[in-house]
Amino acid sequence: MIALEVKNLVKRYGNLLALDNLSLKIKEGEVFGLLGPNGAGKTTFINCILGLTPVDRGEIYIFEKPLKKALHKIKPEIGVVTQEISLYNNLTVYENLSFFGSLYNLSGKLLKERIDFALEFVQLKDAARKYVKNLSGGMKRRLNIAAALLHSPKFLIMDEPTVGIDIQSRKLILDSVTKLARSGVTILYTTHYIEEADKICTSVAFINKGSIIECGTKEELLGKLSETNIVKIKLSKSSESLVDKIKKLEGVESCVLSNDELIVSIDKTKNLIKELVETVSHDGCEILSISFEKPTMEKLYFAIMGYSIDEKGEIKYESFN
Ligand SMILES: Nc1ncnc2c1ncn2[C@@H]1O[C@H](COP(=O)(O)OP(=O)(O)OP(=O)(O)O)[C@@H](O)[C@H]1O
C-alpha cells in the first residue's frame, strides 16, 4: 500500500515558486525523511498534503485515495506534529491531552487509556499535573508529539520536531519515531539535520527550492555512494574555472569547491587521479594534499547539493570535516 503519493505538485506564493512540480511516493511503514535547508518548501509541502494550503496544480493521494474527494475520510488516519508548538500554557499536561483527545471524539475510558499510552510513550507520566508553561522546551515538544498520537494515526507527519531542544529530548524523540515505525505507523519526517535523516529514516528525499533533487531508500542512496569515490584535493589557491574543467572529465560525477579544497565525486570504475593532477597543474594551481573519503549521507548530500546545512537550517558552503 502507498501511504502518500504526490504527482507534479505546484504551489506559488505570488511570484515565488514554493513547490516546483514536486512528485514523490511514500510506502506504508516507511520513515520518510524530507531533508532540506530553511525555505526549501518542507512546511509548504506538509500544508498542501493536509489540505491546509490550496495547491496550484498536482495530485495528492493518501492511502491511495485522492485528497480532494476523500479529505474527511483520510483525516482520522493522520497525526500531525507541527513545527510551532500548539499547546495551552495555562492547562496542565493531562488537561491538554484531554482537550486534544476530545477533538478526536475520544472520551471516558478510551480517552484515559490513550492519554496514559501517549504520556508513557513520550516519558511524561511524571509531569502529567504540571502546567505547560512550566515545562522545558524539550518537554513541550514531547507533549506536542503525544497530542498527535492520541487517536492512533496510521500516518504521522512530523515537521522538524527536534529543532532547538536538549540532547536528551532529541534522543527520546528519535527513539520514539523508530518505535512508532516498528509498530506499523508510516512517518513523514521533515528536518534540516542530515544526521537525523541518516539515523532514523528508511527513505530520504533531498528538497531544494521546492524540487526533489535526490530520492531513494537509504540502501539505494548508499548504493549510489558506493558507485562513486570521493577525492579531496587541497589547493594553494582556489579557482572556479578549474571546477568547470574537472566537471568535464569523463567519469567525474560532481565537483565542488570549498575553502580551497576540491571535492570530486568519481565513478568508482574509473581511475582519474592522473587526469585530475594534470588538470589542476595545467590550471596553474598547486596541490597541497590529496585524500580519499569514505562516503556518508552527509558527504553524499554535499556532493549532490554543493552545500551542507548548519544547526540553524541555513545553507553552509564549507565542507564537513
Ligand atoms: N504564506 C506564505 N506566503 C508567502 N511566502 C511563503 C509563505 N509560506 C512560505 N513562504 C515561502 O515559501 C518558501 C518555502 O517555505 P517553507 O516554510 O515551506 O520552507 P521550509 O523548508 O519549511 O523552511 P523552514 O524550515 O524555514 O520552515 C520560502 O521561500 C518561504 O519564504
ipTM, interface predicted TM-score of the complex: 0.96
45-54, 197-206, 238-247: lowest mean pLDDT where? 238-247
Sign of CA dihedral 128, 130, 133, 136: negative
Mean pLDDT in residue range 23-48: 96
| 250 dihedral zone (left: phi>0; alpha: psi -120 to 50; beta) | beta
- Atom of ligand 1 at shortest distance to CA of 47? 18
- 71 pLDDT band, cuts 50/70/90, is confident
Gap from CA of 43 to ligand 1 centroid (Å): 7
- Atom of ligand 1 at shortest distance to CA of 192? 25
pLDDT at 295 exceeding the cut of 70: no
Give residue 258's pLDDT: 86
Mean pLDDT in residue range 292-315: 84
* Of 19, 22, 42, best ligand 1 pocket probe by most atoms within 8 Å of the beta carbon: 42
pLDDT at 109 exceeding the cut of 90: yes
- 318 pLDDT band, cuts 50/70/90, is low
Residue ID of nearest Cα to ligand 1 atom 9 = 44
The helix (H) or strand (E) run that includes residue 67 is helix 67-74
Q: In what order do the strands lie in the sheet with 16-27?
A: 16-27, 2-13, 57-62, 65-66
Mean pLDDT in residue range 236-244: 86
Name the grid cell of 113. Answer: 487509556
pLDDT at 15 exceeding the cut of 80: yes
Mean pLDDT in residue range 76-84: 93
CA distances (Å), origin 137, targets 82, 117, 161, 164, 168: 14, 21, 11, 8, 12
Q: Which residue has the higher pLDDT, 258 or 174?
A: 174
CATH topology for 227-316 is Alpha-Beta Plaits (3.30.70)
Gap from CA of 31 to ligand 1 centroid (Å): 23
Residue ID of nearest Cα to ligand 1 atom 7 = 13
- 269 pLDDT band, cuts 50/70/90, is confident
Residue ID of nearest Cα to ligand 1 atom 26 = 38
Gap from CA of 73 to ligand 1 centroid (Å): 28
- 270 pLDDT band, cuts 50/70/90, is confident
Percent of the chain scoring above 70 in pLDDT: 98
Q: Which residues of 72-86 are buried (b: 16+ CB within 10 A; e: fewer)?
A: eebbebbbbbbeebe
Domain ranges of the chain: 2-217, 227-316
Give residue 241's pLDDT: 87
Gap from CA of 8 to ligand 1 centroid (Å): 18
User: What is the per-residue pLDDT across 139-185, written as a single tens digit (0 to 9) for each?
Assistant: 999 999 999 999 999 999 999 999 888 899 999 999 999 999 999 99
- 95 pLDDT band, cuts 50/70/90, is very high
CATH H superfamily, domain 2-217:
P-loop containing nucleotide triphosphate hydrolases (3.40.50.300)
Give residue 319's pLDDT: 57
Q: Which residue has the higher pLDDT, 224 or 1?
A: 1
Sheet strands (E) in 28-128: 31-35, 57-62, 65-66, 78-81
Give residue 249's pLDDT: 94
In DSSP terms, 309 is beta-bridged to: 315
Transcribe 179-199 into DSSP letters: HHHHTT-EEEEEES-HHHHHH
**What residue ranges line ligand 1, CB within 6 angstroms?**
13, 16, 18, 36, 38-44, 160, 313
Residue ID of nearest Cα to ligand 1 atom 6 = 13
pLDDT at 96 exceeding the cut of 90: yes
pLDDT at 190 exceeding the cut of 70: yes
Mean pLDDT in residue range 58-82: 93
Name the grid cell of 164. Answer: 532547538
User: What is the per-residue pLDDT across 216-227, written as a single tens digit (0 to 9) for each?
Assistant: 998 888 777 667
pLDDT at 302 exceeding the cut of 90: no
Mean pLDDT in residue range 234-240: 85
